[in-house]
Amino acid sequence: MTHAIVLLKSDRSALGDLGGQLADIPGVAEAYSVTGEWDFVAVLRLRQPDDLAHVVTETISQLPGVTKTQTMVAFEVFSKHDLEALFSIGQ
């Protein structure tokens, strides 16, 4: 599994709709509107590394209002939530 974080800048006109559009994309696990330099953050979880190029360049960057993206690929994933889920099975 490939995990990535995509930072997005958008036109003001897209701020109201872009989060929902991001969340509807297969492979986007979560989408957040955020403060600061970037407008949105999308967390991607993809089955194949090759899916990353398709999702980012052919889908996310082509959404109306997206003006810039920056993608960070995760080398390792650390999550307390995953450990809690593992240890709570059968309880």
Going from N- to C-terminal start, the domains of the chain cover 2-87
Through-space distance between the first and last CA atoms of the chain, rounded to whole angstroms: 27
Nearest CA-CA partner of 43 in 58, 23, 15, 66: 23
Question: Is 3.40.50.1400 the CATH classification of the domain at 2-87?
Answer: no
Answer whether residue 89 shows pLDDT above 70. no
Q: What is the pLDDT of residue 78?
A: 80
Q: What is the pTM of this model?
A: 0.83
Residue 42 has pLDDT above 90, yes or no: yes
Q: What is the pLDDT of residue 79?
A: 74
Asked if pLDDT for residue 62 goes beyond 70, the answer is yes
| pLDDT at 87 exceeding the cut of 70 | no
The answer to whether 14 and 64 are in contact (CB under 8 A) is: yes
Residue type, 19: G
